[in-house]
Amino acid sequence: MAIYHLSAKVISRAGGRSSVAAAAYRTAGRLRDDRQGLEHDYSRKGGVVHSEIMAPSSSPDWMRDRDQLWNAVEAVEKRRDAQLAREIEVALPRELDRGERLELLRGFVQREFVDRGMIADVAVHEARARDGQSQPHAHVMLTMRELTGDGFGKKDRSWNAPDLLVGWREAWARDANTALERAGRSERIDHRSLDVQRAEAEQEVERARGNGQEELALEREKKVVELSREPEPKIGPSANAQEKRGIVTERGDAFRAVHDRNAQRQDLGWRQLELRLELVERGRAFIATARERLDQLWERAEAAMSRIKERVMGEVERPQAAVERGDGRDGADDRDVVQRDAPDDMEARRAAVLGRDVGRSEAQAPDFGRERLAPDDPDRDRRDAILGRQRDPGQERDAAAVERDIAARDGEGRDQGLRDDILGRGRDSASERGQGRDRDRDRER
C-alpha cells in the first residue's frame, strides 16, 4: 500500500548540529567542516542509491559542489542559534521502480523549491521496512537565503509560511498520484489527516450503499478499516540507531505500542467486515430462495385461475348451446317453469283488478274482453258480422256501465269497494248489472 509522508524541519545550531555533517550523513559521503575543523565521514553508510545537487540556472558553479556549498552556508551564518538549512523528507511510492521514483522526485523538487530560488541537495535512500519490503524515501536539504550574484543574500522569510508547507504537501500527493496512475497502478496517497480521510470514506460508503452500489461500498469499507489506525510516532535517527544496536528506547516503546494497537484494531475491523459480508451473502441467498418459491406459487395460482375460468365459461356456454339446438334439458325446464308460473300470476293480477277471490272459477267471471273494445272501433261491425253477432244498444249500454264501474273501482281502490259492500251501497245496481250480463250471455248462446 502506498504511504504518504512529507515532513519539514529546520537544521539549527541551537541543537548543536552542522549543515556539513547533515549533508555528509544523508549522502553517505565524506565532508570537512571548515568552521569546526572536523571531518565527517559516512562513506560506509549503506542504503543511499542516489544523490545530486539541483540549483537555479543563475547560481554559480561552485554551489553545485556539496563541500563548498555547505561550508559557505556555515560561513555566512554568524549566530550561535542560526537556522542553517531546511530539510524535507518524503516517502517515495514503493509501487514505482527506481527510475520512476527519481523522475517523480526531480519534478517535484524543481517546481516547488529550485524555481523559487532555493538550492536543493537531494539524497534517495532505500531502507528495509519492518514488513520486510523496501522503504524508499528521500532527504532534500534546502538553503534558506536568496542568491545574489556569486553568494548568498538575506534570508527569505516567505519560505517559512505555514501555507507554503501545506501547498508542498498537497503538491507531493498530487504528483505521486499522477505518477502512480501513469504507471498503471491503482494505489493512491492522501496528504490529509487520518481522521479526515476516514470520515470521508464513511460518507462514501453510505452514499454508495444508498445508490445500490454494493461493490463500491465494499471497497470503501475496506478503506475505512485501513484508515482506522493511530498515527505512528517517529523514532528519530538517534533512537533508531540505538534500537538497531539492541538498546530499548522510549520512542521505540511508544512506536511499538501504537503499532500493536493498530494491528489489533485492524484485525478486529477485518473480522467485523467479514462477518457483515457473510450475513449479507446469507441474506441474498434467503431472498433468492424465497423469490423462487414465490414464483412457483404464483405459477400454481395462475394455473388454478385458468382452470376455474375455463370451467365457468363452459357452464355459461352449455345452456346457451342447448337453447339454440332446442333439445337441451335445461332450456326445456326453464320454459316449463315460465309456462307453469305464468297463468297463476295472470290470474292473481286479474283477480286483484276485478276485486274478487283468486279461487273463483273462470266460468263465474264475466268476459270483459269483448265489451271493453272501444265503441267507435271501425272494425267492430265487420268482426261482429263474421262472428254472427248483432249489435244491441242495450248491450252497448251495459258494456259502458261495466267500463265505468271498472274505472270507479280502479280510482277508488279495493278498500272503497269493500266499504260499499259493508254499508250496502250500490248493491241493487250491482245486482241489476249482474242480471243484465246474464241476459246478454243467454242471448249470445
Could you tell me the three cell numbers for 29? 559521503
- Average pLDDT on 183-195 reads 89
- Give the span between the Cα atoms of 168 and 313, in whole angstroms: 85
Q: What is the pLDDT of residue 371?
A: 44
> What is the rounded distance in angstroms from the CA atom of residue 70 to the CA atom of residue 32?
10
**Rounded CA separation 419/408 (Å):** 14
Residues 22-33 have a mean pLDDT of 95
Q: Give pLDDT, residue 89.
A: 95
Domain ranges in the chain?
1-190, 371-444
Asked if the model's pLDDT at residue 271 lies above 60, the reply is yes
Which range of 46-60, 184-198, 258-272, 278-292 scores highest in mean pLDDT? It is 46-60
- H-state helical runs in 213-366: 214-227, 237-244, 250-325, 329-354
- Confidence tier at 90 by pLDDT (50, 70, 90): very high
- pLDDT value at 301 more than 80: yes
State residue 9's pLDDT score. Answer: 93
pLDDT in tens, 417-433: 545 554 455 444 445 55
Asked if 36 and 49 touch (Cβ cutoff 8 Å), the reply is no
- How many residues belong to the chain? 445
Above 70 in pLDDT, residue 94?
Answer: yes
Confidence of residue 288 (pLDDT cuts 50, 70, 90): confident
Return the CATH number of the domain spanning residue range 1-190.
Answer: 3.30.930.30
What mean pLDDT is predicted for residues 171-192?
93
pTM over the 0.75 mark: no
Residue 269 has pLDDT above 80, yes or no: yes
pLDDT tens for each residue of 321-340: 666 666 544 444 444 444 44
Q: Which of 136, 53, 141 is nearest to 101 (CA)?
A: 136
pLDDT given at position 441: 63
Task: Compute the CA torsion angle 264, 266, 269, 270 (nearest 10 deg).
Answer: -110
> pLDDT value at position 415?
52
Higher pLDDT, 78 or 343: 78
Three-class DSSP category at 144: coil
The confidence score (pLDDT) of residue 175 equals 96
pLDDT at 405: 61
Give me the pLDDT at residue 408, please.
56
Within 13 A of 122's CA, how many CA atoms are on the CB side?
25
Pairing of strands 151-155, 134-142: unpaired
pLDDT in tens, 97-148: 999 999 999 999 999 999 999 999 999 999 887 777 888 999 999 999 999 8
What pLDDT band is residue 444 in, cutting at 50, 70 and 90? low
What pLDDT shows up at residue 202? Answer: 87
Position of cell 277471490? 357
Own/partner pairs, 431-437, CB within 8 angstroms, 24+ separation: 433/398, 433/401, 433/402, 433/405, 436/394, 436/398, 436/401, 437/366, 437/398, 437/402
Q: What is the mean pLDDT of residues 212-222?
A: 83
Decide if 192 contacts 170 (C-beta within 8 A). no
- Does the structure show a pLDDT above 80 at 8? yes
Q: State percent of the chain over pLDDT 90.
A: 37
Given a cut of 60, is residue 351 above it in pLDDT? no
Integer Cα distance of 90 and 107 in angstroms: 14
